[in-house]
Structure 1
């Protein structure tokens, strides 16, 4: 029996923690240069790294039934939670009418829709295009999509093309290619670069955070086509560096929460209810301390990735009965 690779469970857990932490930081980024710098640093890697890892585990893309399985796993939860989040926003924002638009995913649900499209694009790409050319074309499309003046939020089209290169690179990446990242010199260099970027953001708090979202057109971001391509190219380079950094510092050891890294989808879909509620109820004159925000993010991540949370919400996300209702031999 093949031994489980705890490294990737730890990677998933660390990344979903930073997703939650980043969302908790969002309301306070302009209150403190420290929070702004931390937020920008996190957004340079957390979703690109998640997408890279998702691509790495999509190596069965050409197997019979794979796309059917992906469709069921992604689109059914997407529809369910889209309706739930629409109703939630209707309630919490005291809207006059309940609006449900299937063309624009609610808040963080864009990831499920884009992940579905990435798998479709991957299957087409793997079948017809050689790896090197495929990556070049994917980057090219990611740069060109920003020139489209129409809304790129519809069907998450902007993020689908902007982040597809990371999914594709993840798919083509082999396990042994990670080894150089764990060498001490590489870790030191990556840590220094990450520290320099953090200090840069600390001193320059006027950079548009939207450049890291991948969802807006160049026109939306106040750039022309040439400067837009230049900015996005720079962001791509920084994304790759920060992905390498976070992958280099994650441990291979097993902890009590390691296998909970398999439950990141539960955290991703459910934490939004806590985040949005806290934003609407927030009456603090000053932002909470980073320590409090860190502990809150850790607690939410642990709670929503726990075996109990997985058992309770598995029927909605995987169309399976809760573990405690499943008889042995079923």
Structure 2
């Protein structure tokens, strides 16, 4: 299964606790970010927490997906899993959201080119995985992906159709994750002595702490600068008021910061089994199902307007609870046909030839076509 922050390793390989820990914490941060969205307009504290999470959590999803992505020519099995793990779940859940909105009084409009809420990631992940083998043929794939990301922000014609704005905008993090795999950071990190590990973790904590302090100290300025719009990577700069040539420099700085935060986040993750390690195998379920649980909270208006101080921590605790709930085995059993559709009936029983043509036996082994001469 390929979860949204994954590209999870095949089940016959030994799972590495570090990555399952990272998957679950990262997906839980995503749930928190989505849950507190309605609070940020009225609360500077909520907005600061939101900016802190979004400074790295989406790039982290993309980076971990790139870490586990295959850059060689795709085989039949990989193409099969691309459909069953990503494309089919997208079609299923986009259809469900369309029907749900219609049942709640909206217009029935089935449009697979425009993803509902969080489903954009599945479109982007499909494109990244298809493009990666071609991109890494080039000499400097990371540099090229950064230029593509920064350049795409200048073009308003690149919008959310087929999640193209986010696909191009977040491409550097997918390639960065692939590079981390090439550098074999997992093996090196897991063999470091504890004292060295804690020195790295001290640096990571200092980075995150500095970021949080900077955000809180400049929250009004960051709100005025519309920095949130940059962190979403889903719009061209001119669409939210940045038509200056230097606007791409802001995205470039945020890309560099996010890459540093990805590494810092992974450094802080436990290297051993924890109580939430096993939950890291269920990230696809959390990703696809949490929005249904948050939908009433977000759309009912209960979080609109000024809120008591305890609402923010309460929503955070609720989000963690949702993440834990959706990681349970009974959820996987119940929703597996939707989240991990096999669709064996849809696939050929034997692989096609490279050219798609029928392979015939050698001509000298074929029976004669007409009467043989006497």
Tell me the TM-score normalized by structure 1. Answer: 0.89
What do residues 251-278 of structure 1 show as CA deviations (whole Å, max 9, x unaligned)? 0221343122111111111111111211
SS at match of 2:237: coil
Q: CA RMSD in A?
A: 2.2
Q: Deviations over 1:26-70 (max 9, x none)?
A: 111132222111110100111111111111111365341213321
Q: 1:151 to 1:125 in 2, by over 3 A?
A: closer
**1:159, 1:214 within 8 Å by CA — same for their partners in 2?**
yes
CA drift of 1:2 comes to: 6.0
Equivalent position to 1:83, from 87, 91, 95: 95
TM-score norm. by structure 2 comes to 0.79
Is 2:76 aligned against 1:69?
no
Residues 1:107 and 2:117 are matched in the alignment: yes
* Distance in 1 separating the partners of 2:98 and 2:215: 34
> Which residue does the alignment assign to 2:249?
230
Verify the 8 A CA contact 2:84 2:342 in the aligned structure 1: no
Q: Is residue 2:312 matched to residue 1:290?
A: yes
CA distance in 1 between partners of 2:229 and 2:145 (Å): 21
Query: Cα offset for 1:85?
Result: 1.1
Moved more, 299-308 or 197-206: 197-206
| Conserved 8 A contact 2:288-2:339 | no
Structure 1 position 220, deviation (Å): 1.1
Unaligned segments of structure 2, at least 5 residues: 1-11, 344-374
Matching of residues 274-289 of structure 1 within 5 Å: 274-283=293-302, 286=307, 288-289=310-311
Question: Where is the helix percentage greater, Structure 1 or Structure 2?
Answer: 1
Q: Distance in 2 between matches of 1:228 and 1:152?
A: 17
CA distance in 2, matches of 1:71, 1:61: 18
How many residues get paired? 316
Deviating beyond 4 angstroms after TM superposition, the runs of 4 or more aligned structure 1 residues are none
Confirm whether residue 188 of structure 1 aligns to residue 207 of structure 2: no
Bigger Cα Rg? 2
Q: Structure 1: where are the runs of 5+ without partners?
A: 322-330
Q: Cα 1:162–1:37, aligned 2, differ >3 Å: closer, same or farther?
A: same
2:175 corresponds in structure 1 to 168
Moved more, 199-208 or 115-124: 199-208
